[in-house]
Structure 1
Amino acid sequence: MSDEHPHDTDVLDERTPLDLLVWDAPNIDMTLSNVIGAKPSPASRPRFDAIARWFVTTAEDRDVEGSVFANIPPATATGMRGWIEAIRSFGYAVFAKPKLHPDDDVDLNMLEHIADRAAQRRLTRLIVASGDGRNFLEPLEDLARSGVQVVVLSFSEVAGYAMESDLLTFLDLEDVPGAFVTPLERVRLDALPAEGAWLRPSRSMREVASG
């Protein structure tokens, strides 16, 4: 008699398929500042409603869940409430964690959430909005090896870990339709015009010399 259990795989396959989006707000905000060389303004920040529409449209008939992970410095907690409520109104859950020390971040919370959802549902597609390869590369590649379509949503200037991986798919945030009200002032090395392009200095020479 065989010891195999032919229905075990079927049971796993019967879990409802899910497309999951997790957004690393501290990382995206920091990397956006680096990309544009300035503090992001409302016009240069990504539009969560447009990203939600793109996410749902590309999910076909699968269930979708989106979560934004944020660090909240106590001094700015009141001012961030409007931003959080706006995100929730676009269908995202928000995980808010106090920023009490400089090294407080949400990376482990994001990874725990991904692992929980992968255990509970048949994770079909995972979209991670973060340029942090140090913490995400290995676990994301492990998920990709298990059959999950893993997409890293970030900026080409900072997400080399995803662009160089044979297992992950990279998508530049500015390539999501409608993600930005106006084009970001950036020159992408992965999309240079044939005639070349100038990259402006991010600091003045006098500032460097006086530093």
Structure 2
Amino acid sequence: MDLHEMTHPYTPGATPGPASYLLVWDAPNLDMGLGAILGGRPTAAYRPRFDAIGRWLLGQASELSETTGERVEPEATVFTNVSPAGADAVRPWVEALRNVGFAVFAKPKSDEDSDVDQDMLAHIERRSTEGVLRGVVVASADGQNFLEPIEELAAQGIPVTVLGFHEHASWAVNSECVTFVDLEDIPGVFREPLPRINLDQLPEGGAWLQPFRPLAALLNNTRGE
């Protein structure tokens, strides 16, 4: 199946469509994780290719269809925040995603409480409540918000996969009921190998591990207290 043939029969609140193999992609979280690995803002060579992710998702949905004997449709969704002055910068990326076959949920980034985590969880819950959810892929390193809900789905017999970077997702790597897939293990997702540092296999001369966020972020937290 060609990527452009991917259909999205689902709209929030709409009549349930066919059985869904759902991908929810936490763009802010994965961007932060990728930046931590690279030690700075990702260049084009290190941006994930969503066409490769789409092909992988199509393959996973096809395998599930063969296993269950039921037609399972892939539903690829990306959740992101847009800063007040960032619409022009993010627009080409959003349009490229939609052109590949991904639905995009975009939300204004006004404060720390405007993250998209709860929107992702609500969308997963919506598909589950509709009775169409046959499998879910969570692309995020945020175990605090996602671990308990997806383990509940797994206990119901729904296959659950977490996509991310193993450095930041030990909660998923070590889970007995969740399948973890490192993004770099999906063929074609990155044009160049990521410059990853493994604490278990450090170079003899040592290596720098970059901070996850600027130190100045502490000032913002202090003001909000």
Give the TM-score category using the shorter length. Answer: 0.7 to 0.9
Question: Which of 21, 25, 28 is the matching residue for 2:27?
Answer: 25
Query: Counterpart in 1 of 2:42?
Result: 40
TM-score, normalisation: structure 2: 0.78
C-alpha displacement at 1:102, in angstroms? 3.0
Does residue 145 of structure 2 align to residue 135 of structure 1?
yes
Aligned residue in 2 for 1:209: none
Q: Greater CA radius of gyration, 1 or 2?
A: 1
Q: Could you tell me how far apart the structure 2 residues matched to 1:88 and 1:171 are?
A: 24
Aligned residue number for residue 101 of structure 1: 111
Name the counterpart of 1:54: 56
User: Which of structure 1's runs of 4+ aligned residues deviate more than 6 A?
Assistant: none
Q: Distance in 2 between matches of 1:161 and 1:200?
A: 24
> In structure 2, the residue corresponding to 1:75 is in which secondary structure?
coil
**Residue 202 (1) aligns with residue 209 (2):** yes
Query: Distance between the aligned counterparts of 1:53 and 1:182, measured in 2?
Result: 19
Instruction: For residues 96-116 of structure 1, give each alpha carbon's deviation from its aligned partner in whole angstroms, at most 9, with x where no partner exists.
Output: 000011332000000000000
TM value normalised by structure 1: 0.83
**Offset at residue 197 of structure 1 (A):** 4.1
Q: Which whole-Å CA distance do the structure 1 matches of 2:195 and 2:47 have between them?
A: 12
Task: Tell me which residue corresponds to 2:178.
Answer: 168
Gap regions ≥5 residues in structure 1 = 1-14, 204-211
Which residue is 2:161 aligned to?
A: 151
Q: Aligned AA for 1:143?
A: L
Measured after TM superposition, the shift of residue 16 of structure 1 is 3.7
Paired position in structure 2 for 1:88 = 98
Helix, strand or coil: the match of 1:84?
Answer: helix
Residue 81 of structure 1 aligns to a residue in which SS? Answer: helix
Aligned CA RMSD, in angstroms, stands at 1.8
Code of the aligned partner of 1:186:
R
Partners of 1:153 and 1:175 in 2: CA distance: 10
Q: Percent identity?
A: 48
Tell me if structure 1 keeps the 8 A contact 2:21–2:133: yes
3-state secondary structure, aligned to 2:86: helix
Corresponding residue for residue 4 of structure 1: none
Q: Which amino acid aligns with 1:81?
A: R
Q: Which amino acid aligns with 2:46?
A: S
